[in-house]
């Protein structure tokens, strides 16, 4: 069994990117890590910067029609 250390990243599709960025930044209090307006996506740090992130993708902008994506942090040897 692989031991999950933490949630590494999750990505959500949102109907209104601007409103979602405002919500996660101003209401939830997450730090905006990076924004790519040409791709209609924004990334936030969750917890300590560089350790875990939330990606918000505007409808129809996510790669491969992704609706939801979750990745866990595990030890490298367990990954192999």
The model's confidence at residue 66, banded by pLDDT at 50, 70 and 90, is low
pLDDT digits (tens, 9 = 90+) for 23-63: 999 999 999 999 999 889 999 999 777 789 999 998 866 56
Q: Is 41 helix (H, G, I), strand (E, B) or coil?
A: strand
Domain 4-79, CATH: 3.10.180.10
- Which candidate, 27, 56, 60, places its Cα nearest to that of 44? 56
Residue 44 near residue 25, CB atoms below 8 Å: yes
pTM, entire model: 0.78
């Amino acid at each position: 069994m692989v031991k999950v250390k933490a949630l590494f990243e999750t990505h959500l599709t949102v109907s209104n990117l601007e409103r979602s960025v405002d919500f996660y930044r101003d209401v939830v209090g997450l730090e905006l890590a990076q924004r790519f307006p040409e791709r209609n996506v924004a990334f936030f740090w969750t917890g300590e910067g560089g350790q875990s992130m939330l990606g918000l993708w505007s409808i129809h902008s996510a790669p491969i029609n992704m609706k939801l994506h979750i990745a866990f942090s595990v030890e490298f040897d367990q990954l192999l």
